[in-house]
Structure 1
Amino acid sequence: MDDQTRIELEAAAFRRLVAHLQARTDVQNIDLMNLAGFCRNCLSKWYRAEAGDRGVEISDAAARELIYGMPYEEWKARHQREASPEQQAAFQQASAH
């Protein structure tokens, strides 16, 4: 496979991941962190960092909106629930490693 095709496939897979996370508003960020070690916020920070490495400035708010599909504050108001004690405990345990 040539580099251009690989890049196009990786970009398409990234877009599918973002679309999937935007559609699955029932999946909370803390659940993603507990199960996979990353969440939507991590993904937006990685996107912003990669843009910066290439000389493209993007704000944290703009990167989050790209990943969430709406302003972050709006997503939180619509979809974010308070983490349960069990979720918080699992997060603390995972963070300790």
Structure 2
Amino acid sequence: MASAPDAPPGAWAAWVVPTLWLLAPLGLLLAFGLFKEAYLKFLLIASPALALLLTAACSPLALLRSTPRVTGPPPPAQRLAGVGLAHPGLGRRQQGAAWR
């Protein structure tokens, strides 16, 4: 399984381990023909794996959506705001003032 070049060394485990965890109970139920309603309780073992897989699938999408795309230098207003934040006396939040 190829991973992204910037992925940490064990990133593949975030997909492989929960996938095996999810498929093992399903495979055993199918292999032994346990199709009765009484055996469905054994699928509860696979529910945390499903939650982990859904989380692993949704987290990169959330990062892509929340990461701003910077294509050039900031507009002058943002440059001035950055100067104000860098100076110890400027850019402080006043008591009771709300951020906008």
| Normalised TM-score (structure 2) | 0.31
- Greater radius of gyration (CA): 2
Higher helix share: 1
